[in-house]
Structure 1
Amino acid sequence: MRMRILCTIGDCNGIGLEVWAKALLALEGHRALRGVRLSLIAHPRTVAEYFRALAFPVRVEQTAVEVGSFRVELLPCPTYAPIRWGTPDPTAARQAWEALDSARQLLYQRAADAVVTLPITKHTLRQLGWRFPGQTEFFADPVEHSPMMLFVAGTLRIALATTHLPLCQVPDALTPEVLRRTVVDLSRSLQHDFRIATPRIAVLGINPHAGEAGTLGTEELQLHPVLEQLRAEGYCAEGPFAADAFFARRRWRQYDAVLAAYHDQGLIPFKLLAPTRGVNITLGLPFVRTSPAHGTAYDIAGHGRANPESMRRALLMAIRLARYRICHQSVVYHSRG
């Protein structure tokens, strides 16, 4: 049976479809895509208008999209959204939501092996009743478990202990129990998906200077005993480290993954170190989900200047992880309580 990789349209007024098509053209002849069934979930008319406006050589039919030598299955969404470059639009948001719903249903029915999601505009979705902080939480919702975000660029891997939370909520959210589950889940995922026998994980503190022994905050004092217990159980988890000095001294090179306390603490250094190469992976799901590590980029939408490298890597990562799990018959699912 051929491996099936889904792709959701995201916000059609951004750069998503552009980087998707460019990534496929860059992957023509790549052996990783042999035997892979690609499916795009979108409204055919929207897709046709998008590429016609870009003057991009893509042929769109009712049930397929031809990009170079690739013939991609097209799974239609009910809602047609006209192209309005760089503009938040409720119709585009509805189509994006429909695509995500279809993908999630197919994945939990095991009718597909992985999904690569194109960027969405969250605040427009929320106007329609969307109740999720992001796509990460959307795909985890049916099983009611907290997902984990892992950003990867080569040997640089940064995971987030909390996902899309306001900064003021992070200290209460990052409890000793959450830290323990997160380190265990991250370690197991590195073993299963990246074949690292004994992963070394660096844990970053929340406060400046990692609290400086309680002088600048006491949250880290609660985390030390958890890390000591994890090490006693055989996990290699060190810290909490002061985030600024950790990255300034390039200490991330000494570890298989870095666990950041909150979103921007991990994403700012990640995007500085790998501005075009990053891939976002959702850990803890019974299927593979990846996405390019960028947003809709409204400022350049419609200009044909979007860099597809992050999308190219997201596709390859989805195929690699899905193929590995299929070959080893091991679906990685970690209960995060």
Structure 2
Amino acid sequence: MNEQQKPIIGFTSGDLNGIGLELIIKTLSDNRLLDICTPVVFANNKCINFYKKGLPDYNLNYSNTRELNRLNPKQVNVVNCWEEEVAITPGQLTDTGGKYALLSLQQATQALKDGHIHGLVTAPIHKKNIQSAEFNYSGHTPYFKAFFNVPDVVMLMVAENMRVGLVTEHVPVTDVAKHITPEAIIGKLKIIHSSLQKDFGVDKPRIAVLGLNPHAGDEGLVGKEEESIIKPAIKEAKRSMMVFGPYSADAFFAHGHFERFDAVLAMYHDQGLIPFKSLALGEGTNYTAGLPIVRTSPDHGTAFDIAGKDKADPSSFLGALFTCVEIIRMRHGYADMRRNPLKKMSARIIANAVDERIEESEG
């Protein structure tokens, strides 16, 4: 992708009985998005039309295509991943919903790997009905890790005022502690550090690490993991990056300390996601850091309770699209600056000049 080219962004359907296709229709009905990207929806036009009928206030125009190298840059493109009629029952957990969500995901992921699209926004799946011999994963994140054969990835939640990564993701609470190792923590920190630089343009990232136990273990009185695992991992990571902690999770978020850092590494799912969803400004996005490609998703699930009722809010989905485009452009600029150090120097000079002007105006 050159600097002037619009990125080609793929969209998966998600569970056919969830809110995925409704979100896609509502988001892509705004023709202004065609100025920033070329959308490609991996689904089926009959399924899209099914949901269009229940959304009279949204006018989605699209063209069908079979050839990914002949996309229409001035219109939404729909790739028919299947031709047969599919029974759609909004709000119902069915095998059909999971089967076709997987077909959409597989074709979109292959297109991403082959370079036909530059980024992918995934609509929500249900982790139960998508399970099969071809999808034996706890969610999208481990699926992409396996598909692209990378040693590790980080589920990174992104918002205007905070970024929160996880050491463990969809793991039962009773099993979390056994997954907290120095190697796991250091590995996640390295991925987050690299992502902050190349994906978000943070030159010298500051990363906070939370403790596992209440009060970050109280020096061993409320658990030993902080003293025996987390602190040694932080000490090791400090050799190559700016890492701080471990912090007690409740006070860390309650007192707004997260605002002093470029990212936070939480030990487990709810420790990170509850404060993120409570305190994040703007719309939250789930980003898979550590992949050779760019994949984002909204920070919510299939929402079966409102599926097919024209109640789904597309804000987070739209935020996921914007984040996807921004990261693609940031990566392109980062790679360009690495090839040409003069550009990086120029960017820093401009940034310093802007900072000086701000200081002068405030003074």
User: Fold conserved (TM > 0.5)?
Assistant: yes
Q: Is the CA contact (8 Å cut-off) linking 1:158 and 1:258 kept in structure 2?
A: yes
Equivalent AA in structure 2 for residue 126 of structure 1: Q
Q: 2:32 aligns with which of 22, 29, 32?
A: 29
Task: List structure 1 runs of 4+ shifted beyond 6 angstroms.
Answer: none
Distance 2:154 2:79 in 1: 28
Per the alignment, residue 223 of structure 1 pairs with 230
For 2:323 and 2:9, the matched residues in 1 are separated by 11
What are the within-5 Å matches in structure 2 for residues 95-110 of structure 1?
95-110=100-115
Q: 1:43 to 1:25 in 2, by over 3 A?
A: closer
The 8 Å contact of residues 50 and 83 in structure 1, kept in 2 or not, is answered as: no
The one-letter code matched in structure 2 to 1:19 is L
For residues 128-277 of structure 1, the aligned pairs below 5 Å read 130-142=135-147, 143-221=149-227, 222-231=229-238, 233-274=239-280, 277=283
Please state whether the residue corresponding to 1:39 is helix, strand or coil. strand
In structure 1, stretches of 5+ residues that fail to align are: 331-337
Q: How far apart in 1 are the matches of 2:182 and 2:276?
A: 25
Q: Distance in 2 between matches of 1:6 and 1:224?
A: 41
**Does residue 94 of structure 1 match 2:95?**
no
Q: Secondary structure at the residue paired with 1:162?
A: coil
Q: Distance in 2 between matches of 1:135 and 1:263?
A: 15
Q: Match of 2:13?
A: 9
Output the CA distance in 2 between the equivalents of 1:38 and 1:157: 26
- What do the CA deviations read for 1:136-176 (whole angstroms, capped 9, x no partner)? 11111130533211111102111111122112221111200
Instruction: Report the AA paired with residue 58 of structure 1.
Output: L
Which residue matches 2:130? 125
The answer to whether the 8 A contact 1:120-1:295 is kept is: yes
User: What residue is the counterpart of 1:46 in the other structure?
Assistant: 47
* TM value normalised by structure 1: 0.89
How far does residue 121 in structure 1 lie from its aligned partner after superposition?
A: 0.9
* TM-score normalised by length of structure 2: 0.83
Residues 186 and 160 of structure 1: CA distance in aligned 2, closer, same or farther (over 3 Å): same
Counterpart code for 2:13: I
C-alpha deviation, 1:59, in angstroms: 4.5
Q: 2:24 aligns with which of 20, 24, 27?
A: 20
Deviation at 1:328, TM superposition (A): 3.9
Amino acid at match of 1:273: L
Amino acid aligned to 1:191: Q
Contact 2:45–2:64 under 8 Å retained in 1: yes
- Is 1:116 equivalent to 2:145 in the alignment? no
Tell whether the 8 Å contact from 2:199 to 2:328 is kept in structure 1 after alignment: no
Contact 2:29-2:61 within 8 A present in 1 as well:
no
SS at 2:309 equivalent: coil
The answer to whether the 8 A contact 1:81-1:92 is kept is no
User: In the alignment, residue 92 of structure 1 is paired with which amino acid?
Assistant: G
Q: Which has the larger radius of gyration?
A: 2
Distance in 2 (CA, whole Å) between partners of 1:252 and 1:327 is 27
* Deviation by residue 1:107-133 (Cα, 9 ceiling, x = unmatched): 112222110000011111126763011
Separation in structure 1 between the aligned mates of residue 36 and residue 216 of structure 2, nearest angstrom: 48
CA contact (8 A) 1:44 1:61 kept: no
Shift, 1:61, TM fit: 5.5
Residue 131 of structure 2: SS of its match in structure 1? helix
- How far off is 1:23 after superposition? 2.2
Shift of 1:258: 0.8
Contact persistence 1:40–1:73 (CA under 8 A): yes
The reply to whether residue 57 of structure 1 matches residue 62 of structure 2 is: no
Tell me which amino acid in the other structure corresponds to 2:175.
Answer: Q
- 2:318 counterpart residue number: 312
Structure 1 contact 292–311 (Cα < 8 Å) conserved = yes
Percent of residue pairs identical: 38
Alignment deviations for residues 196-221 of structure 1 (CA, whole Å, 9 cap, x no partner): 11111110111111111111111111
How many angstroms does 1:35 deviate by? 5.8
Aligned residues between the structures: 323
Are the counterparts in 1 of residues 197 and 205 from structure 2 also a CA contact under 8 Å? yes
* RMSD between superposed Cα atoms in Å: 2.2
